[in-house]
Each structure stands twice: as structure tokens, then as C-alpha cells.
Amino acid sequence: MVNAKTPDGDRRLRMDDVAELAGVSQMTVSRALRTPEKVAPETRARIEAAMAQLDYVPDLVAGSLAARRSGLIAAVVSTFENAIFAPTIAGLTEAAEAAGFTILLGSSGYSETDEERLLRAILGRRPDGVMLTDAFHTPRARRLLAAAGVPIVETWDLPAEPVDMVVGFSNVDAGRAMTLALHGFGYRRIAFVAPSSERDRRGLKRLDGYRRAMDDLGAPRREIRLHGPVATLEEGAAALVALLDQHPEADAVACSVDTLAAGALFEARRRGIDVPGRLGIAGFGDFALAQPAGLDMTTMRIAGRNIGAEAGAMLVKRIAGETPEQAVFDIGYEVVRRSSA
């Protein structure tokens, strides 16, 4: 019924430990987990506080499993708001289903605290492996992951201190590479559209890469930060309006994700701005809307489907007791020049 060790590390936590700390019986703890409406609110609060203090995750499927494996691989993505992680989930699903696993999917909404709550719920279903599209976790979330006893793969970045395995790329280097590419295309007054929320750390790393490139070039920075927490077409359009107001001299703009670049491109067309002559526009991700059949945008290609496929292959190998060829896989990136820059 457990997934974490007691503070002294001698044995794994049991429901008895929660009951003792909360000052109730084991039966009351069990009832609070399975039929909380039958337990007094103040008692539930004591039990929940004890579980949080102990980093205890209840096994919600123990009574129904005949084998130690659940057949589930959990995937926690940062957002469902746009298509950025859809190819990654597709690649993971293909690799997992080919090996007989089912995907359990959830979204953290770019919130570390929400990720922690979601992990607690997901780990209670005892997945055989976990894929995360974020590499930023609360200390408690890291403890829960480490204590789960299953393989973990973080994706879409290269964290300095991985929880377990990694499939990703350097967002800082990619942001720098796009900026230098625009300079190589002949643009000199390059701006960058970045997230306003500290939650989107990958977007902020790409901004950091832009800053480094502009400093290397000895050129002034021109930054536009979003109003809302999510990168949408509307935010991209608003960012272009802000760019024209704050930096009318800018001759190119790189965006932290394709969705923003598409919104900026739509707004530029609405205003009759010559793209790419008057203003070059570049995105990040190489989503379907950026490709030739869509808006034909210059972008940074990230092999999102390959990230999911590699992560799935790593998890399947580890679940089978095998060792992947490498624990950290740098998938890389590629600047793709199209008609918008």
C-alpha cells in the first residue's frame, strides 16, 4: 500500500504510520481514502495532513491487481492548451501500446504545485513508468518520484539534475541558435516574444538564449512579454501590436513557440505589413500550422514525436529489467527557414 520510505529509511511506509500520526485507526484512514464522505471533515483533515507530512501515496489499485504490474505508463504534460506536446504523446503512445501498455494522461498546467498533486494521484494508480514534459519539480514531487520505484523520463529539456532518465535538448542553445540564424538571414534589429509567467521555464530559457545571442552580437535587446499565462494566437497578435508600439524599428521577431508566431503573422497580414521584407517572423516547434501546408513559417524544428518514442522505448526497456543505451538522450534541434523570414 506504499511507495515511500519512512524518514529513517528502514522500511516502507504503511497505512498504520498515517493512522498513528493522525491519531486514528487504520480502518478510519482506509475509509477516508475510499469513502471520504463517510469521515468527519476534521478527521479527514488530520489524515490528509499526516499523509502530506509523510509523503505517503495510497495504493488505490492494490485490491484489484493480481500481478505487481499495472500495465500503465503515466504521462504528465505541461499543458493541453495548445498542440506542442501532442506529437510527443503520440510517439509515447505508439511505443507503449506496441509493448502492451496503456497511457494514463494528465496535465500540470505549468504549475509545479499542481504537478505535485497530480503525481500523488497518478502514483496511487501504480503506473509501471512515468514520462514528464517538465524538468522543474517541487522538492516533495521529486521525493515522490524517487520513492515510486518505477522508471522516470523527463523530456523537452536537459536538466542539470535529472530525476532518472532524460530525452530532450537545450532550450537555451536553441533560442540562441534561432536568433543567430535570423542575423545570418540579414536581420539586425531582432526582437523576441517570451512568456510572462515564470511557470513556462522552457520559454524563459529560450529567451535567455536570445539574450546571449544579442549580447554576443553586441546588439540591443528588444523583448516583448505576454499578458496571459498561455501562448495563444491572440497573445501572438497582441505581442505584435506591442512590438510595433515599443520597438517600431524591429525588423525581425522570434517567438518562444509557433502558436505565438502564427498569431503575430496573422496580425501582420491584417495590418498589411510585408513579411518577410519589412518584418521577419520565426517560431519554435515546427507544428503543423508552421509547415508548408500551413503558414510556411520559419521555425525551430523539434522532433516532438521522436522525443515521445525514445522516452517510451527507454521506459519499456527499464520496465523489462533492461538498461537503455543511454540515460540522457539529446534529441537536438534544427532551424528550418521558410517564407516568413
- In this predicted model, what pLDDT tens digit does every residue of 214-252 receive, in sequence order? 999 999 999 999 876 678 999 999 999 999 999 999 999
At 304, is the pLDDT very low, low, confident or very high (cuts 50, 70, 90)?
very high
Question: pTM (2 decimals)?
Answer: 0.79
pLDDT at 76: 95
User: Could you give the percent of the chain with pLDDT greater than 90?
Assistant: 70
Write down the residue that cell numbers 516583448 correspond to. Answer: 224
Are the CB atoms for 141 and 115 separated by under 8 Å? Answer: yes
Closest CA to 13 of 26, 24, 23, 4: 4
Q: The domain at 69-169+304-332 falls in which architecture?
A: 3-Layer(aba) Sandwich (3.40)
Secondary structure tally for the chain: helices H, strands E: 11, 12
> Maximum distance among all alpha carbons in the chain?
73
Can 69-169+304-332 and 171-301 be said to share one CATH topology?
A: yes
- Cβ atoms < 10 Å from Cβ of 176: 21
C-alpha span between 194 and 189 (Å, rounded)? 16
C-alpha span between 179 and 188 (Å, rounded)? 10
Are the CB atoms for 110 and 200 separated by under 8 Å? Answer: yes
pLDDT at 69: 75
- 72-93 burial code (b ≥16 CB/10 A, e <16): bbbbbbbbeebbbbbbbbebbb
155 CB burial (10 A radius; 0-12, 13-18, 19+): buried
pLDDT at 1: 37
pLDDT at 187: 98
- 171-301: CATH topology is Rossmann fold (3.40.50)
DSSP conformation letters of 92-103? HHHHHHHTT-EE
Domain ranges of the chain: 1-58, 69-169+304-332, 171-301
C-alpha span between 311 and 177 (Å, rounded)? 25
C-alpha span between 328 and 161 (Å, rounded)? 11
- In this predicted model, what pLDDT tens digit does every residue of 52-91 receive, in sequence order? 888 787 765 554 444 467 899 999 998 887 778 999 999 9
**Three-class DSSP category at 195:** coil
pLDDT higher at 323 or 82 = 323
pLDDT at 68: 63
C-alpha span between 302 and 299 (Å, rounded)? 9
Q: The domain at 1-58 falls in which architecture?
A: Orthogonal Bundle (1.10)
pLDDT at 245: 97
- Cβ atoms < 10 Å from Cβ of 286: 23
